[in-house]
Structure 1
Amino acid sequence: MPSLRERIHSYLHGDNLVSRLLSKVEAKTGVKKTYLATGSISSLGLYLIFGYGASLVCNLIGFVYPAYISIKAIESTDKQDDTIWLTYWVVYGIFSVVEFFSDIFLFWFPFYYLGKCTFLLWCMAPFSWNGSQILYNRFIRPFFLKHHQTVDGVVHDLGGHVLNTAEVVTREVLQTLTSSRSLLGREGGQQALPSSTHSKDQ
């Protein structure tokens, strides 16, 4: 099995968006890809610790690139990349829910956004043992297989209750509108009656 260093070297010199971008910068500056990648990662890490708007930068990293690659996966004929990025979005969604509660206590921690960004990069990393695959196979999938029938039953019952409630509300609204129209019709007839009687007397 290739080491982590070999995997990173293979990715930086492979056919992907990051490699093509670094190649263009390397051609213009003469600085090797490895140094460019190391410098970029170091600068990003320092900014996430000390910079302003670290939360926005971290969220953009975790959303924009995966969204772009997911669209490419949808448009491609290969279904394996669809599964890879669907797995990422499942993990990302669960992480976002957990973060909603933990952020209240951890946002002040100086390395919080650096750790969050590192976690998201690990989840989208271009190798089979990335974070999303590990977390899904070890925790999410077993939990889903164990409880999905119960969850399906709850969702089915909840959907039935919602439909019944919507039907009752719709029926009551229609009855209210019908009653209002009838009442307006009677009031209009009563208002028109004196004028017609007056015209006959004349």
Structure 2
Amino acid sequence: MDQINGVIDALTEYTRNLPVIKDLAQKAGVSTGHISIGFIAFLSVFMLLGIGADLITDLIGMFYPMYMSFKALETKGADDDKLWLTYWVVFAIYKVVDEWSEIFFFWVPFYYPIKLAFLVYLFLPQTKGAVKLYDSFIRPFVLKHQAEIDAGLSKAGEAASLVQQAAKEEALKKGFEYMTHK
């Protein structure tokens, strides 16, 4: 029981000045820690049942890091900027892999809680999971294949320019035909 009270006290301290939670706690006559633990329990039930779990996972994986990225951009130093930029690089890769692999793994028990735990591991400043993954796997891979990636991006840019030019020409042609057939 002491451990639960310790968690509630920590959550109370952490959420004491969050307006929405503070208002709810005042209306319910409980601490912000109790509201937070209730919210966590509520989300956990939905996650375990798979109801809206993908949305919940994405929201948690994006909103906290987004806010922390905002705060990092507003500070003078660059250390926190690098931390959150690293998170977004890893998150983008995770998201692409997740979209393609989810069809094979969504049936795995506790799939969404595992995904959520992974995202929390990635963004928590205490674990710096994104930095560890980036330094161990992503950075070496990209550095090794940087020339090929740059060449592919250059070709894609050229192709996009050609498509854009063709679209402009077709639009002008159609516009001219429309104007002359009236």
Q: Residues 19 and 150 from structure 1, CA distance in 2 versus in 1: closer, same or farther, beyond 3 angstroms?
A: farther
Q: Residues 117 and 175 from structure 1, CA distance in 2 versus in 1: closer, same or farther, beyond 3 angstroms?
A: closer
Q: Return the TM-score normalized by structure 1.
A: 0.66
Q: Distance in 2 between matches of 1:171 and 1:97?
A: 34
Aligned residues: 166
Q: How do 1:74-153 residues align onto structure 2 when only pairs under 5 Å count?
A: 74-127=73-126, 129-153=127-151
CA drift at 1:168? 3.1
3-state SS of paired residue (2:145): helix
Contact 1:124 1:130 in 2 (8 A): yes
Which letter maps to 1:143? F
Q: Distance in 2 between matches of 1:138 and 1:106?
A: 25
Q: 1:95-129 CA distances to partner (integer Å, 9 max, x unpaired)? A: 111111211122122211110111011001122x5
Aligned to 1:21: 15
Q: Distance in 2 between matches of 1:37 and 1:173?
A: 55
Which letter maps to 1:140? I
Aligned to 1:4: none
Q: Residues 167 and 124 from structure 1, CA distance in 2 versus in 1: closer, same or farther, beyond 3 angstroms?
A: same
Q: Residues 19 and 143 from structure 1, CA distance in 2 versus in 1: closer, same or farther, beyond 3 angstroms?
A: farther
3-state SS of paired residue (2:138): helix
CA drift at 1:174? 2.2
Please, what is the CA RMSD of the aligned residues? 3.4
Q: Does 1:155 align with 2:153?
A: yes
Contact 2:50 2:112 in 1 (8 A): no
Gaps of 5+ in 1: 1-8, 185-202
Q: 1:35-76 CA distances to partner (integer Å, 9 max, x unpaired)? A: 999898677555522363222222221111111111111222
Q: Distance in 2 between matches of 1:41 and 1:67?
A: 20
Which letter maps to 2:169? R
